[in-house]
Structure 1
Amino acid sequence: MPSQNNSNVCDEKIFEQVHKKYAQDLYNFTYYKYGEKIDPADKVQNAFLKLWENCKDILPEKAKSFLFTVTNNLAINTFKHHQVVLKYQNEYFSSQQNNEDPSFLMEEAEYLKKYQQALSLLTPEKRATFLMCKAEGKKHQEVAELLGVSRKAVEKRLYSAISELRKHIKEI
């Protein structure tokens, strides 16, 4: 995106370019870091709304930082709210009837539970790195740029995450 003096994000073309450039990465970052329960699409939309509300103060070069910070803060607030709600509410999951073999369904559910538990034991940095690299197929350099760390740090986090996941899932 070209850098222009005396320009801000209020210009519709610049705002559109910023949206096209960062919306998907914001969504993926939020989804991988916090999961589906916080509704990452909503957080991204609200971040762009806040960007538009503050567009006169935001230079195009600072838009990425602003968006990631706002999205992360919105996600954290939602995550904390969910923790409070969950503290006072028991969740019961009803299983749907299925034509598959019950033992297969149990094994599948057990594996999924182990996988989710193993993912939850990873640090947020390792979890985000692992999901960006393995689930989305992003290259190490892309992940490094998104997370603001070096490529070597991404590689170390990724291999460490894989090693930890293997330790926790090997019983299955």
Structure 2
Amino acid sequence: MKKDLNDSICKEVVFERIYNKYSKDLHGYLYYKYGERFNPNDKVQDAFVKLWSNCKKVSLNKAKSFLYTVANNMMLNDIKHQKVVLRHQQVHTKQHTYETPEFLLEKEQFLQRYNKVLTSLNEEQRVAFLLNKTEGKKHSEIAEMLGVTQKVVEYRIYSAFNILKKELKGFKIK
């Protein structure tokens, strides 16, 4: 029976079902945890390639954990690489806009404050908040994705929202 579980991921139908079930959520998780800059879509694809390569070693009930761990490690490796690249290179970009300098300054200052407050949130609060408010995921979906109860997700979102409201004057969310 154990061998059947190990062999079943190697079947195309089962692998396709796993891909359809976890790929979108894994992408969302990586996107909100690390941002678009590190190509979460590529990391999702690479994680599934690695799962396919190791399909005989990974049991069906460990596939989700395997995917999230592999993708997360790929992101961390990419971040380490980017730090090395940034140390050896400076990028200067010119931006032209028709907005007033005052507006641009206010927008930049608010964005900096918003990002600062977001980074001050603990990882659990930030991920739950962004998945809910930006991606539109329901509390139950986030709970399943993160492996916690729905009440925990609600608390994380509520506490993150309160921190944002307290730190940013005029912060409102629909």
TM-score, structure 1 normalization: 0.87
Q: CA deviation at 1:55?
A: 0.9
Confirm or deny: 8 A CA contact 1:130 1:158 kept in the other structure.
yes
Q: 1:125-170 CA deviation, whole Å, 9 max, x = no partner?
A: 1110000011011111111111111111111111111111122222
Q: Name the counterpart of 1:33.
A: 33
Amino acid at match of 1:20: N
CA–CA distance in structure 1, aligned partners of residues 91 and 112 of structure 2:
15
Alignment-derived partner of residue 127 in structure 1 = 126
1:14 counterpart = 2:14: yes
User: How far apart are 1:80 and its partner, in Å?
Assistant: 3.1
Name 2:73's counterpart in structure 1. Answer: 73
In structure 1, the partner of 2:106 is 107
- Aligned sequence identity (%): 47
- What is the CA distance between 1:91 and its match in structure 2? 5.1
C-alpha distance in structure 2 between counterparts of 1:65 and 1:96, whole Å: 42
Structure 2 CA distance for aligned equivalents of residues 83 and 96 of structure 1: 24
Q: 1:171 to 1:20 in 2, by over 3 A?
A: closer
* Bigger Cα displacement from structure 2, 28-37 vs 102-111: 102-111
Judge conservation of contact 1:119–1:127 (CA < 8 Å) in 2.
yes
**What CA distance in whole angstroms lies between the structure 2 residues aligned with 1:132 and 1:146?**
10
Distance apart, 1:54 and its partner CA: 0.4
Give the AA of the match of 1:166.
K
- Measure, in 1, the Cα distance between the counterparts of 2:42 and 2:130: 20
The change in CA–CA distance for 1:93 and 1:109 in structure 2 (over 3 A counts) is farther
Show CA shifts across 1:54-110 (max 9, x none).
011223332111111111121222223334444x25755534111222222221122
Deviation at 1:44, TM superposition (A): 0.7
